[in-house]
Copies of this chain bind each other. A is one copy, B any other.
């Protein structure tokens, strides 16, 4: 259990290569918790007959949802695919839609896919040593297109809130799949 004093100062170690902390635990997301999110449901089922792979883990430090506080931590997104679709995070809108997020990639490579409620979509590369700005109003999901863990340090307003439901119900408009030429953004066949 992560317990910190947000009215005082505290520090949390985050390994600059692998993102892990000795002080803070991660929350884990396994394939079984998000199998409906991958477009190739059969491929997901087939994997789950054998094992339930860890897709990603991230830090929830327990920041109170107060205006003026900042939530932060790292996300470690593992390499892998479900069918031809890369491992990815669930993705979410912020409940307070007009709140941004900063991601600083510590290791690995991937892509941030974003869309706003009006249906405008954006995809941006995630590269080691680059900070990516996710603007206000955009749902965001990271995707690992490499062979090693994608490790990102994130910060967002503690009162932003997470709306996962919209993405779980409707899906993303765009998904990222591996083709012979490499990673390709395509329309999500499952989007509704």
Contact = CB atoms under 8 A, between A and B. Distances in A.
Interface of A: 4, 6-16, 67-70, 72, 96, 98-102, 104, 106, 112, 114, 122, 124-125, 127-136, 138, 153, 155-157
B9 A132 contact: yes
Contact of A9 (B14, B16, B124): B124
Contact of A70 (B10, B69, B100): B100
Nearest to A71: B102
A6 B102 CA distance: 11
B153 A16 contact: no
B102 A16 contact: no
B101 A104 contact: no
B131 A9 contact: no
B131 A153 contact: yes
Contacts of A102: 70, 72, 155
Contacts of A100: 6, 68-70
